[in-house]
Amino acid sequence: MTHHRHSQQSAPLIEIRDVHKSFGPVTVLRGVSLSVRDGGVVCIIGPSGSGKSTILRCINGLMSIDRGTIRVGPFAVETLKSDKALVPLRHQVAMVFQQYNLFPHRTVLQNLTMAPVQVLGENPAAVRERALALLAKVRLTGKQDAYPGELSGGQQQRVAIARALAMQPKVILFDEVTAALDPEMVSEVLNVIRDLAREGMTCVLVTHEMRFAQEVADEVFFTDRGVIVEHGPPGTLFQNPTDPRLKAFLEKVL
């Protein structure tokens, strides 16, 4: 069940080829390849420590890679070294984190407007208008003058999603965005992501919410110890897993 047009013939929006990454003696990624088409929704699942967050951080250049290539739209990410060179990439690739990573000293509205104004140099009045519309979209109208510390976890995470959207990105990377939330707040965040996916936003989600992955993803990638062990449409991957590691993982989490 998917709501996306399938344009398999056009070049993918994100293409990762044979990416390797080590932290000192610890090898975290050992040849990861995956691609995401424009408008696609991809989920990455796998045990803790298998390199899921690292893959996301490499896609937007928060981490450099040792070997391989990462292409996002027109950008060859591994060639972008300076902060300045990374700005256009980060304009297109936004990220939402497990711990929200909001700016605690700024109001909700300022959290949304800061980067478009300070980084992208956009007109403050126009950004403000867009930000208010985004707050309405994530159902937080009226909270614009609150500080992040005054909101619940679910509300903060919706602010973080709105902050990502305020950059008008082509892709949003979600890193276990519901993992720190109390159970009753998970669905309010997942609803927002579901809406985005339906509207055609390209999403890469690292998640432990298997039912949600099954519902929204076009393709699911299973990582274990720095490699992608198996990938495919959610139906196949969840119902007919072939790799024993994936079988064991699914038995544990489902």
Partner 1 sequence: MTLDFSWLFDPLYQTWLLRGVGTTILLSLLGMVLMFVIGIAGAALLHLKVRFLQSPVTIFVELFRNTPPLVQLFFLYFMLSEIGLTLTDPVTGGRIPLFTGFTCVVLSLGLYNGAIAVEIIRSGLLAVPAQTVEGARSLGYSRLQTFRHVELPIGLRMSIPPMTSNIVSLIKTSSQAVLVAVADIMYGATQIMLETFRNLEVMLLIWIIYLVIASIAVLVVRRIAAAFRIPGYGS
Ligand X SMILES: Nc1ncnc2c1ncn2[C@@H]1O[C@H](COP(=O)(O)OP(=O)(O)O)[C@@H](O)[C@H]1O
**Assign residue 252 a region: left if phi > 0, alpha if psi is -120 to 50, beta otherwise?**
alpha
Q: Give the position of tokens 């424009």.
A: 38
Torsion of CA 243, 245, 247, 250, to 10 degrees: -130
Tokens of 209: 């919410």
Picking from 34, 35, 45, the residue whose alpha carbon sits closest to that of residue 7 is: 35
The residues in 164-193 that bind partner 1, with binding defined as CB under 8 A, are 167
202 binds ligand X (CB under 6 A): no
The alpha carbon of residue 153 and the mean position of all alpha carbons in its chain are separated, in whole angstroms, by 18
178 binds ligand X (CB under 6 A): no
**Binding residue (CB under 8 A) for partner 1 from 91, 137, 170, 225:** 91
Partner from partner 1, ligand X, Mg ion, none contacting 150, C-beta within 5 to 8 A by type: partner 1
150 binds partner 1 (CB under 8 A): yes
The residues in 27-56 that bind ligand X, with binding defined as CB under 6 A, are 28, 46, 48-54
Partner from Mg ion, ligand X, partner 1, none contacting 110, C-beta within 5 to 8 A by type: none
Q: Which helix (H) or strand (E) holds 133?
A: helix 124-137
Tokens of 232: 């495919």
100 vs 221 by CB, closer to partner 1:
100
Partner from ligand X, partner 1, Mg ion, none contacting 23, C-beta within 5 to 8 A by type: ligand X
233 binds ligand X (CB under 6 A): no
Sign of CA dihedral 148, 153, 159, 163: positive
From the list 44-52, 67-75, 133-141, 148-156, the region that binds partner 1 by CB under 8 A is 148-156
Q: Give the position of tokens 């080829």.
A: 17
Write out the residues near ligand X by the rule CB under 6 A. Answer: 23, 26, 28, 46, 48-54
